[in-house]
Amino acid sequence: MSKKILVWFRNDLRLHDNEMLVEAVAKSEGILPVYCFDPRQFIKTPLFSLKTGVHRAQFLIENVAALRDAFQKMGGNLLLRIGKPEDILPALVSQYHIDEVYHHREVAAEETAVSTQVEDQLWKLKVNLKHFIGHTLYNKEDLPFPVRDIPNAFNQFRKKTERDALVKPCFPQPQQISFLNADDWGGVPSLQTLFADTKLLSPKLRPDFKGGEAEALIHLENFINDSEKLALEAVPLKKQEAVSKLSAWLAIGSLSPREVYWKLKEAEIHKTLKPYFSHVILGLLWRDYFRFMFKKYGNTFFRQEGFKQELNSSALRHTKILQKWKNGETGQIVIDAIMQELNTTGYIAHDARLLTASYLVSKLRQSWVLGAAYFEEQLIDYCPASNWGNWANVAGVGSDQRLNGSFDLEKQLKAFDAKAIYTHPVKAD
């Protein structure tokens, strides 16, 4: 018997390679796509930062609006609500006589807690919440080891996974979808609606990223084409290792990691571009590693002592030194330029993140937890596992003890000066 299925979108705002959507379309007489703007994501945290900053909020709005537009072109819509999912979804289930709810499982504590609360409320209605896994390159069941036995050392995880696991093909994008009719589809909120404090909206944004699945796929194609040009021009590899900047769309789920992987593999075959894509594939493996580490260890990554249980937690204070680091006013020209770029655009490259994090922890002697929380606020491509996992490693309390303390701050500062990338601070318009 066909069902009415509510498809709860979170960090999976795409039509391509979306198993949850494919199965919902195949097993239902009609779907009700829903996205909830959770107010808890736009407030200040106990760690002296916003849960979501303006840059990421704007990018989120654009991605949600793009998914709604895609559904509208297929004759449907995306139902939008502002509120807690555990309140909104059960009400919708009752209103539209939904038989089952689909969603993608998350791994971080707060996101998992929301899923649990939704599941508990749906259980009272005798409605099942079905979980899907669609955020990683490798599915956990395809790994050469169970989650509990995943190696803590990244290099071991990488070698065994690349050798013994296969990346599955992408799920086909649905060409036709039957939608349920809704009385009120809701509107796309503005930043002013999401943030109670309008003072937060005063800084001018420099949008280097535009949200949406179509934009993500265009950016991926442009990256491949640009790499092909560099290869044809025989540009030395070290000079061309530009950042792909795919991470923002990967984090919000408007781009599938498997879509990236297979597009790059296809280009490697036809255009001999393998050396040019190795750092991108490596980045996808790091994303998987941290997500599986979160699955294995849970909240350990959010603790000050991390995986070094002998360390004692200390009271967290928002100091003047910390604020100067946030503002890009430390007096260290490279660090300040990077932080000003972060504050202006919501994005900095991975090596720049490691550099500023190491500077905060090693030189300024400030809590890595507060630094990680500030990156959570500012980064347009924020992902709990990658952000907190990387910060824990920089602070020497991460899961991969081989990496702890291995980041050479002075060497990296000199390297940045040699490249002349951050020698002049970015000035706001």
| Per-residue pLDDT tens over the stretch 385-404 | 999 999 999 999 998 877 66
> Is residue 363 within 8 Å of residue 325, measured between CB atoms?
no
pLDDT of the residue at 232: 76
Q: Which of 37-51, 88-102, 394-408 has the lowest mean pLDDT?
A: 394-408
Cα separation, 362 vs 408, whole angstroms = 10
Distance CA 17, CA 172 (A): 6
Largest CA distance in the chain: 67
pLDDT digits (tens, 9 = 90+) for 280-295: 999 999 999 999 999 9
Q: Assess whether the region 1-134 and the region 303-419 belong to the same CATH fold.
A: no
Better-predicted residue by pLDDT, 11 or 208: 11
In DSSP terms, 3 is beta-bridged to 28
Average pLDDT over residues 154-172: 96
133, two tokens: 């896994």
- The pLDDT-based confidence of 429 (bands split at 50, 70, 90) is very low
The pLDDT value recorded for residue 201 is 67
Q: Give the three-class secondary structure for 358.
A: helix
Both tokens of 373, joined, read 């929380």
Say which CATH topology domain 1-134 has: Rossmann fold (3.40.50)
With beta carbons less than 8 A apart as the criterion, state whether 364 and 321 touch: yes
The contacts of residue 66 (CB under 8 Å, 6+ apart) are 13, 211, 212, 213, 214, 215, 254
Residue 241, pLDDT score = 55
Buried b (16+ CB within 10 A) or exposed e, 74-108: eebbbbbbeeebbebbbebbeebebbbbbbbbbbb
Helix axes 213-232, 54-73, angle to 10 degrees: 100
Q: Taking 60 as the threshold, does the pLDDT of residue 239 lie above it?
A: no
Express as a percent the part of the chain with pLDDT over 70: 90
- In the prediction, which pLDDT does 426 show? 44
Q: State the Cα–Cα distance between residues 57 and 421, nearest whole angstrom.
A: 28
Token pair 């002349």 is found at 420
What pLDDT score does 191 carry? 92
Residue carrying structure tokens 């395809």: 142
In terms of C-beta distances under 8 Å and separation of at least 24 residues, what long-range contacts does 321-325 make, across chains too?
Answer: 321/364, 321/366, 322/48, 322/360, 322/364, 322/366, 322/367, 322/370, 322/371, 325/356, 325/359, 325/360, 325/364, 325/366, 325/371
357-374, pLDDT tens digit by residue?
999 999 999 999 999 999
How large is the average pLDDT for residues 21-45?
96
SS3 state of residue 89: helix
Q: Rounded to an integer, what distance in angstroms lies between the CA atom of residue 265 and that of residue 281?
A: 10
**Domains of the chain: which residue ranges?**
1-134, 213-297, 303-419
Q: Model confidence at 26, in pLDDT bands (50, 70, 90)?
A: very high
What average pLDDT is seen over the chain? 90
Check if CATH label 1.10.579.10 holds for domain 303-419: yes
